[in-house]
């Protein structure tokens, strides 16, 4: 059944993508977009301490139009395995925001050890700022009012700090506005300016960065569908000269929104796809997905064009260490599963330990045949056992396989049904010989609602 589903999905995806060279029988399904457990949009990647922190907006699972209440965080150190950290901020963090649907495109930036999250609220409500001591939050509103309230088009803020320490914020649809931020990052100086050279085909979603002597502004470009265009300048305040499309507008997509970083010597472009939605329906809803690929500069500083996201995605940079605790919500690809955050108050009492269960984010909605794939796991000289943290529901099995969903079985963990719902346990199983680097598949067997899955770790 799963294979039939794969084949149908492959045919559907490949015909949507117009990809002709990947039609071989039994071809693995495209494992894109990068996040499968939720609908995500408006990527805002930030590199801090050798980790990529990816802030996104969040399209609810039942969204028809925009239904966006909070902002999510994911992280990666290898650009293929992404760990979810849940919702790090929401509209509720602003006392002055009059609605609970309008958590549009944010950007987070670090300065002097503090993390500033710039949050637009559409409809003329303004752009707010939240501050935290860590990239994970908790984020608080330090000013209790909008940082920017200029027009009814105050959306899509992007913040850039130049080499001389001057910070700039840019935003707006259908014109680009900008202002100089003060060093405290929660106030500004001087007038709000409307950019006179709002670059060709600019729609919204500016993203500004510097490379060498050049300033770049990427943005959602052309409409509709939107691709990602860019302009260059010799100054952070323009004039901006249109240079072309980083990613073409594609019928496979609708809206777009760029985020661009350099990480471990490579450049990456993030933006939108609708491929996850298209896996379940051909109807259009605002249920977007963040996707990404490597971005390549030409020797003269211009950027190479790509038609759409590749099927294979970027190369993994580095490997994943299985001998440290890995959150179950770390994955390169998954099918069927969802994630859930439970606070100490909502969680059940752990009778075995006599204590309340701490806040945790874990994998839920685990049914027969679902699986999680973690890419490029380095077992070095081998592993002897594996431990998993599980909360049983009806019970079942985790088959741990390598390289393919039906590849060699290296461990099996039996999870028994228990009447004491909500109990978390650590279960251990021996591991068959496995050496070197492999993709790791956690394949779930049983009937339905098998268990919740919090983390896993191998031992030597």
The footprint of ligand FUB (CB under 6 A) covers: 41-42, 57, 66, 104-105, 155-156, 204-205, 220, 255, 257
For ligand FUB, which is the closer residue by CB, 33 or 255? 255
What's phi and psi for 26, nearest 5 deg?
65, 15
- In the complex, minimum distance from the CB of residue 172 to ligand FUB, in angstroms, rounded to a whole number: 10
Cα atoms in the 13 Å half-sphere on the side-chain side of 460: 10
3-class DSSP state for residue 90?
A: strand
Cα–Cα–Cα angle for 393, 397, 403, rounded to 5 degrees:
135
- In the complex, minimum distance from the CB of residue 240 to ligand FUB, in angstroms, rounded to a whole number: 18
- In the complex, minimum distance from the CB of residue 288 to ligand FUB, in angstroms, rounded to a whole number: 7
Please say whether the beta carbons of 276 and 266 come within 8 A: no
Please say whether the beta carbons of 296 and 268 come within 8 A: no
Token reading at 140 = 């608080």
* CA atoms of 52 and 266, how far apart (whole Å): 12
- In the complex, minimum distance from the CB of residue 18 to ligand FUB, in angstroms, rounded to a whole number: 24
For ligand FUB, which is the closer residue by CB, 103 or 400? 103
* CA atoms of 155 and 124, how far apart (whole Å): 9
Q: Using omega within 30 degrees of 0 as the cis cutoff, is the peptide bond preceding 323 cis?
A: no
For ligand FUB, which is the closer residue by CB, 257 or 438? 257
- In the complex, minimum distance from the CB of residue 268 to ligand FUB, in angstroms, rounded to a whole number: 18
How long a stretch of residues is the chain? 460
| Secondary structure element (H or E) that encloses residue 9, with its range | helix 2-17
For ligand FUB, which is the closer residue by CB, 43 or 376? 43
Please say whether the beta carbons of 289 and 33 come within 8 A: yes
- In the complex, minimum distance from the CB of residue 189 to ligand FUB, in angstroms, rounded to a whole number: 26
Nearest Cα residue to 330 out of 280, 377, 400: 377
For ligand FUB, which is the closer residue by CB, 106 or 372? 106
Handedness of CA 36, 271, 133, 317 (dihedral sign): positive
* CA atoms of 368 and 232, how far apart (whole Å): 51
For ligand FUB, which is the closer residue by CB, 57 or 364? 57
For ligand FUB, which is the closer residue by CB, 66 or 333? 66
For ligand FUB, which is the closer residue by CB, 270 or 371? 270
* CA atoms of 401 and 27, how far apart (whole Å): 19
Nearest Cα residue to 147 out of 172, 123, 115, 169: 169
Residue 352, phi-psi category: left (phi > 0), alpha (psi -120 to 50), beta (remainder): alpha
For ligand FUB, which is the closer residue by CB, 219 or 333? 219
- In the complex, minimum distance from the CB of residue 149 to ligand FUB, in angstroms, rounded to a whole number: 16
Beta strands in 14-81 (DSSP E): 39-48, 51-59, 70-76
For ligand FUB, which is the closer residue by CB, 107 or 330? 107
- In the complex, minimum distance from the CB of residue 181 to ligand FUB, in angstroms, rounded to a whole number: 20
- In the complex, minimum distance from the CB of residue 393 to ligand FUB, in angstroms, rounded to a whole number: 34
- In the complex, minimum distance from the CB of residue 243 to ligand FUB, in angstroms, rounded to a whole number: 20
């Amino acid at each position: 059944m799963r294979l039939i589903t794969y084949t149908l999905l492959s045919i559907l995806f490949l015909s949507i993508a117009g990809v002709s060279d990947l039609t071989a029988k039994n071809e693995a399904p495209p494992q894109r977009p990068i996040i499968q457990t939720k609908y995500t949009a408006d990527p805002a990647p930030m590199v801090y301490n050798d980790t990529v922190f990816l802030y996104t907006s969040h399209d609810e699972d039942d969204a028809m139009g925009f239904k966006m209440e909070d902002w999510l965080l994911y992280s990666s150190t290898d650009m293929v395995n992404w760990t979810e950290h849940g919702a790090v901020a929401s509209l509720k963090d602003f006392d002055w925001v009059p609605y609970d649907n309008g958590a549009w495109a944010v950007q987070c930036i670090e300065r002097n050890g503090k993390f500033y999250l710039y949050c637009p609220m559409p409809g003329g409500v303004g752009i707010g700022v939240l501050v935290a001591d860590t990239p994970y939050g908790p984020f608080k509103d330090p000013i209790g009012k909008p940082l920017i309230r200029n027009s009814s088009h105050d959306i899509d803020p992007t913040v850039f700090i130049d080499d001389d320490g001057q910070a700039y914020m840019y935003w707006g649809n259908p014109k680009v506005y900008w202002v100089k931020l003060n060093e405290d990052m929660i106030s500004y100086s001087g007038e709000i300016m409307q950019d006179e050279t709002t670059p060709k085909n600019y729609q919204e979603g500016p993203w500004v960065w510097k490379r060498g002597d050049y300033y770049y502004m990427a943005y959602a470009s052309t409409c509709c569908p939107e691709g990602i265009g860019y302009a260059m300048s010799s100054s952070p305040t323009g004039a901006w000269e249109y240079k072309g499309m980083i990613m073409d507008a594609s019928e496979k997509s609708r809206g777009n929104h760029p985020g661009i970083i350099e990480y471990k010597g490579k450049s990456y472009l993030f933006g939108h796809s609708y491929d996850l939605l298209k896996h379940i329906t051909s109807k259009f809803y605002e249920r977007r997905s963040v996707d990404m690929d490597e971005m390549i500069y030409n020797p003269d500083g211009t950027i190479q064009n790509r038609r759409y996201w590749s099927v294979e995605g970027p190369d993994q940079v580095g490997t994943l260490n299985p001998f440290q605790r890995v959150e179950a919500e770390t994955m390169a690809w998954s099918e069927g599963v969802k994630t859930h955050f439970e606070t100490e108050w909502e969680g059940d009492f752990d009778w075995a330990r006599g204590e309340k269960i701490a806040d945790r984010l874990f994998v839920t909605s685990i049914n027969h045949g679902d699986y999680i794939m973690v890419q490029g796991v380095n077992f070095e000289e081998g592993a002897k056992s594996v431990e998993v943290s599980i909360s049983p529901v009806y019970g079942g099995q985790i088959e741990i396989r390598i390289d393919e969903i039906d590849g060699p079985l290296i461990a099996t963990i039996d999870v028994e049904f228990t009447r004491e719902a909500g109990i978390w346990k650590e279960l251990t199983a021996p591991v068959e010989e496995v050496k070197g680097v492999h993709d790791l598949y956690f394949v779930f067997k049983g009937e339905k609602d098998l268990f919740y899955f919090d983390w896993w770790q191998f031992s030597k």
